[in-house]
Amino acid sequence: MSGYHVDALLHVANLDLRGRGIWRVFSEAYATGRISITRPAEILLNANTVTVLVGFPIPPSGIGETDGPLGALCLAIALESLGKYVRIIADKSVLKALREVWENTFSLSNVSVSEKDVIVAIEVPGRSKDGRYYSMRGALISPDPLDDIILKHVGSGRTVCIGDGGNEAGMGSLRDLIVKHVPLGDKIASSVPADHVITGGTSNWAAYALVGALSTLTSRNLLKEFNEQYYLRIMYDSGLIDGVLGRKSLSVDGIHKGTLQ
C-alpha cells in the first residue's frame, strides 16, 4: 500500500475535538511534507530494540495523565508481537501504573539508551525556548527530563516523537506552526526537535495510528490484542488522571469515546 494511504490514518488521528489548534498544525505540516507516518513505521519495522518514553505530569498535583501511557502500551504490545525488544522509560508520574502492566518499564535513572535503539516519545514534555516546561494552560511543570534523550539522539534518524498540543518533546520541529495556531504557542511550544514527528487529537490516537500503519505495512491486525478500556481501567485504578479534567476519570483528555479501534 502506498505511503499516501497509510498517511490517511493521520487525518483520522488528528481530529481536534477540543479545538486546541492541532488540526491546523497538522494540515499545514502535512501539506508541506513535514509530517508523515509511513517513514516512522518503516524505521520501527527495521529496529531490533525500541525505547518508548512516556509520561506527562499534570499541574498542580503533578499526577500523570492517561494520555500517553495507553498509546505507549498499544505500541509496545504491537512491536513485541513483531519480535522487537521493547522497553519503556516512564516519568515518575506514570511509572507505578506502567510497571503494573509492562515488566520492562524503568525510571530515567535506571536505564541507558543504546546508540542503536529507535526512540519513540509519546506525550513527553519538551522544554520551551526559556528552558522550562509548561502545560497547555501555561502552568509550569516539573517532569523528569526525558527530552534529554531526544536531544542526545536527534539527528540519528531514530527519534520519533508524538504530541497533541505542541508542548511535547519533538514538537520543536513544528514550533513555527504551533506558535501560529495553538493558544499560548509562543510560551509553551517545545524547542526540542525530532527526526520524525507525529501529531494527533490526543497522543494516544497518534500512537494508535502508528500501530495502524505498522498493521498495514505488515498485513497484520496489530491493534486486536490491545483492549483500551481494560488498560484505561488499570491506569484509573493506579491513580492516573484525565489531563483536561484534572481528576480521575475513565477518559482521556475529556474524551470518553472515539478511538481508532
d(CA 199, CA 177): 12
* 248 within domain boundaries: no
* C-alpha cell, 261: 479501534
- How high is the pLDDT of residue 2? 46
pTM here? 0.95
**pLDDT tens profile 87-100:** 999 999 999 999 99
For residue 175, name the pLDDT band (cuts at 50, 70, 90). very high
- How high is the pLDDT of residue 120? 98
- C-beta atoms surrounding 35 within 10 Å: 24
Phi, psi of 5 (to 5 degrees): -70, -35
- Residue 258 reports pLDDT greater than 50: no
The helix/strand/coil state of 197 is strand
d(CA 14, CA 24): 9
- How high is the pLDDT of residue 257? 55
Question: Distance from CA of residue 93 to its chain's centroid?
Answer: 15
Looking at residues 59-78, what average pLDDT do you find? 97
**pLDDT tens profile 199-220:** 999 999 999 999 999 999 999 9
- Residue 163 reports pLDDT greater than 60: yes
For the chain, what is the domain count?
Answer: 1
Among residues 130, 127, 147, 123, which one has the least CA distance to residue 64?
123
Listing DSSP states for 62-100 in one string gives TEEBSTTHHHHHHHHHHHHHTT-EEEEEE-TTTHHHHHT
Mean pLDDT (the chain, rounded): 94
What domain range is 65 assigned to?
10-237
* 3 within domain boundaries: no
- Residue 119 reports pLDDT greater than 70: yes
The CATH number that applies at residue 21 is 3.90.1640.20
For residue 192, name the pLDDT band (cuts at 50, 70, 90). very high
- Residue 1 reports pLDDT greater than 60: no
3-state DSSP helix/strand/coil % of the chain, to nearest 5 = 35, 20, 45
Strands 57-58 and 63-64: antiparallel
* 253 within domain boundaries: no
Instruction: Tell me the β-bridge partners of 216.
Output: none
* 2 within domain boundaries: no
* 243 within domain boundaries: no
* 242 within domain boundaries: no
Angle subtended at Cα 16 by Cα 31 and Cα 22, rounded to the nearest 5 degrees = 50
Residue type, 166: G
For residue 18, name the pLDDT band (cuts at 50, 70, 90). confident
* 4 within domain boundaries: no
**pLDDT tens profile 120-143:** 999 999 999 999 999 999 999 999
Angle subtended at Cα 55 by Cα 192 and Cα 30, rounded to the nearest 5 degrees = 50
* C-alpha cell, 222: 496489530
Looking at residues 140-162, what average pLDDT do you find? 98
- How high is the pLDDT of residue 39? 95
